[in-house]
């Protein structure tokens, strides 16, 4: 893939969060140090305990941030879509990664040395604020997740996961079909349950005409009901 053209395409089609905050000199520095990588489905971008070196920017595809737990059980923490940045938290915390990132589907990801980002933050207030804002949002999200994943019942957790998928990746052109096609196992890992229970509960939702399921194609039929179940059920 041609780095320059991919980058420029991305830039031109989206004045993504960071780019618009940069000064011309900084933009030059970036284009000089930015590298484009392709990841296959399920390929790991970085792993827990690695040392953080790069800021990653998802350009195309879908990426999951997850943590391996007990007995091979995996918890998906966050999902990324183009154009979002990830992999910077551990660097800022001055510690190795506590989670791993992997491509959900074939993805294009850009990298930029964190040392460079660090220097840029030193000289660019807006960039500092960008990260402060992102980190703050994420922390609020994780704190909330602690409670919902530990206290909600299976149906509530699955409903919430489906809503997260809607909010993150949206619908196909029909306005109903989720634009992400996940394995049941990943849905389970997102909502803190076993694969069996994810399958079972999806079937139950289908029976109740809240969704329809056709393989990995999930159509949201009754979003209201889903939100109700997420909130109470």
Partner DNA sequence: AATTTTGCATGTTTTAAAGCATAATTTTGT
Partner DNA sequence: ACAAAATTATGCTTTAAAACATGCAAAATT
Q: Which residues contact DNA (rule: CB under 7 A)?
A: 71, 153-155, 183-185, 192-197, 199-200, 202-203, 213, 215-216
Q: Does 230 bind a copy of itself (CB under 8 A)?
A: no
CB of 14 to DNA, least distance (A): 29
Cα atoms found within 13 Å of the Cα of residue 206, Cβ hemisphere only: 13
- Find which of a copy of itself, DNA, none residue 5 binds, CB within 5 to 8 Å per kind: none
Contact status, residue 18 vs residue 127, Cβ threshold 8 Å? yes
CB of 227 to DNA, least distance (A): 18
Helices (H) and strands (E) in the chain, counts: 9, 10
Interacting positions 80-139 with a copy of itself (CB under 8 A): 89-90, 92-95, 98-99, 121-122, 125, 128-129, 131-133, 135-139
Per-position DSSP letters for 131-192, written without gaps between them = HHHHHHHHHHHHHHHHHHHHHS-HHHHHHHHHHHHHHHH-B-TTSSBBS----HHHHHHHTT
- Find which of DNA, a copy of itself, none residue 12 binds, CB within 5 to 8 Å per kind: none
**Do you know the residue count of the chain?**
233
Binding string, residues 39-78; x marks residues near a copy of itself by CB under 8 A: ----------------------------x-xx--x-x-x-
Contact status, residue 226 vs residue 159, Cβ threshold 8 Å? yes
Cβ-count burial 205-220 (b if 16+ within 10 Å, e if not): bbeeebbeeeeeebbb
Binding string, residues 3-42; x marks residues near a copy of itself by CB under 8 A: ----------------------------------------
Rule CB under 8 A: which residues touch a copy of itself? Answer: 67, 69-70, 73, 75, 77, 89-90, 92-95, 98-99, 121-122, 125, 128-129, 131-133, 135-140, 142-152, 192
């Amino acid at each position: 893939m041609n780095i320059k053209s991919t980058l420029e395409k991305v830039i031109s089609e989206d004045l993504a969060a960071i780019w618009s905050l940069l000064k011309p000199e900084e933009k030059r520095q970036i284009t000089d140090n930015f590298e484009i990588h392709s990841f296959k489905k399920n390929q790991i971008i970085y792993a827990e305990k690695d040392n953080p070196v790069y800021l990653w920017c998802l350009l195309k595809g879908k990426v999951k941030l997850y943590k391996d737990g007990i007995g091979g059980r995996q918890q998906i923490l966050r999902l990324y879509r183009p154009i979002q940045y990830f992999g910077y938290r551990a660097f800022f915390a001055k510690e190795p990664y506590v989670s791993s990132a992997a491509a959900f589907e074939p993805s294009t990801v850009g990298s930029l040395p964190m040392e460079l980002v660090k220097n840029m933050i030193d000289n660019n207030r807006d960039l500092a604020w960008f990260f402060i804002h992102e980190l703050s949002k994420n922390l609020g999200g994780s704190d909330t997740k602690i409670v919902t994943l530990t206290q909600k019942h299976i149906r509530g957790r699955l409903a919430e996961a489906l809503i997260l998928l809607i909010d993150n990746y949206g619908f196909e052109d029909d306005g109903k079909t989720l634009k992400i096609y996940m394995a049941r196992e990943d849905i389970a890992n997102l909502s803190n349950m076993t694969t069996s229970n994810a399958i079972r509960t999806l079937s139950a939702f289908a029976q109740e005409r809240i969704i329809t399921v056709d393989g990995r194609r999930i159509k949201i039929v009754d979003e209201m009901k889903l939100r109700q179940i997420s909130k109470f059920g």
